[in-house]
Amino acid sequence: MSTIALLGTMDTKGVEHGFVAELIRARGHRTLVIDLGTDGPPQLEADISREAAAVMAGVDLAALVARHDRGEAVAAMSRVAPVVLVKLQAEGKIHGVVSLGGGGGTAIATAGMRALPLGFPKLMVSTLASGNTAQYVGVKDIVMMPSIVDVAGLNRISRAVLTRAAGAICGMVESAAAPEKASGEDKPVIVASMFGNTTDCVQKAKAILEGAGFEVLVFHATGIGGRTMESLIESGLVAGVLDVTTTEWADELCGGFLGAGPTRLEAAARGGVPAVVAPGCLDMVNFHAPESVPAKFAGRTFYKHNPQVTLMRTNAAECAQLGQILAEKVNLSTAPVTVLLPLRAISVISAPGQPFHDPAADAALFSAIKTHLRQDIPVLEIDAAINDAAFAKACAHALLAQLSGAIAAR
């Protein structure tokens, strides 16, 4: 029998959480109610009271309540939620978590859920689930379920939604309770970054790495993909990194919508994880429809990827900056790392005859990388395009050599 946590502000959402709790218990699971409300008395008796939760996180609840500041209360309970959930999960006392809320409740509960490991069942029923949920989900596997109506009492709509929410969290917990061991579960993990313009490279390298006994997890370099990959590297589960699609730095530098933040490329370097790095797709910056492109970029070279995405070619000056950034991030490495440069094209559309072919910009990129890179870090210049079999093979073999050396040194 599993225990499912119901985390929420029981002063305003207690009735709804109580309804879900009954349904969960009817399916044979235990429940553990955690109250993080700060307004009035709880509508649902909690197994962990707001006072007890606040003490666990070192929050002075009495002083917080006395100030009557809703924003401060939400911020404080957003610090409490991770402490409580992480402790309960680490002690094996909960096997899943569900929460129901509006803006404040969603902020509090998802702050706690983001602190839980990947694979731990997490369900947030929210009034905000149909909009941009990036700030709530982050890089974790939080399931956001639209509440349709406000979480403000039980009615014909909310009962139907909450009944399905109870079934969903129970199903997630039941599925996670006794997972069938996958065939590759015991293999060491390599993570790889990929874009449509580097798919052939990654797929060819992936086949070589898998043939050598590794499991390869591929992440789409769309901002959230890069951040998720970095998070997994930081978790300590990754043996090696095939980071051939560093394109997110072009968006980060030029204001595109697929930036992955200023710490992209740092997890492997700082964590001592062997890596292969290439400047894949640093020729392109992603904007939305053409009218979304900032006026300062008028006259630049553009490519319509689809009706929703307009690509801008990075120029020589930007490529020089990107080369320096990539080198400085790689310079942080404490484990073996190799930089590979595909001299003929860094993406499908930068090859000769393609719309982003710009030898001067590529030369500026390569020169900056070599100029700013630590002298002890090898650079392999491959006379091939990034998606050629020769380049993919060079990437895979360079990483395998690093991994072999790392294993031998243990």
Helix (H, G, I), strand (E, B) or coil at 124: strand
Write down the pLDDT at residue 405.
75
Tell me the per-residue pLDDT of 144-198, one tens digit each, with 9 for 90 and over. 999 999 998 999 999 999 999 999 999 999 998 755 555 556 899 999 999 999 9
Tell me the per-residue pLDDT of 65-88, one tens digit each, with 9 for 90 and over. 999 898 999 999 999 999 999 999
Label residue 381 by pLDDT band (50, 70, 90).
very high
Tell me the per-residue pLDDT of 283-296, one tens digit each, with 9 for 90 and over. 999 999 999 999 99
Write down the pLDDT at residue 184.
52
Q: Give the predicted TM-score (pTM) of the model.
A: 0.79
Label residue 408 by pLDDT band (50, 70, 90).
low
Q: Which residues is 124 bridged to in the sheet?
A: 99, 144
Q: What is the mean pLDDT of the chain?
A: 94
Write down the pLDDT at residue 122.
98
Write down the pLDDT at residue 101.
94
Q: What are phi and psi of 319, to 5 degrees?
A: -65, -35
* Mean pLDDT for the stretch of residues 333-341: 97
Tokens of 401: 């050599």
| Cα–Cα distance measured from residue 165 to residue 123, given in angstroms and rounded to the nearest whole number | 8
Tell me the per-residue pLDDT of 204-215, one tens digit each, with 9 for 90 and over. 999 999 999 999
| Cα–Cα distance measured from residue 331 to residue 276, given in angstroms and rounded to the nearest whole number | 13
Residues 6+ away with beta carbon under 8 Å from 305:
286, 311
Label residue 409 by pLDDT band (50, 70, 90).
low
Write down the pLDDT at residue 160.
97
Write down the pLDDT at residue 222.
94
Q: Hey, what domains does the chain have and what are their CATH numbers? A: 3-177 (3.40.50.12020), 189-408 (3.40.50.12030)
Write down the pLDDT at residue 131.
80
Write down the pLDDT at residue 180.
53
Lowest mean pLDDT among 50-64, 100-114, 123-137, 388-402: 123-137
* Mean pLDDT for the stretch of residues 13-36: 97
| Cα–Cα distance measured from residue 191 to residue 286, given in angstroms and rounded to the nearest whole number | 23
Alpha helices (H) along 274-386:
316-330, 359-372
pLDDT above 90: residue 132: no
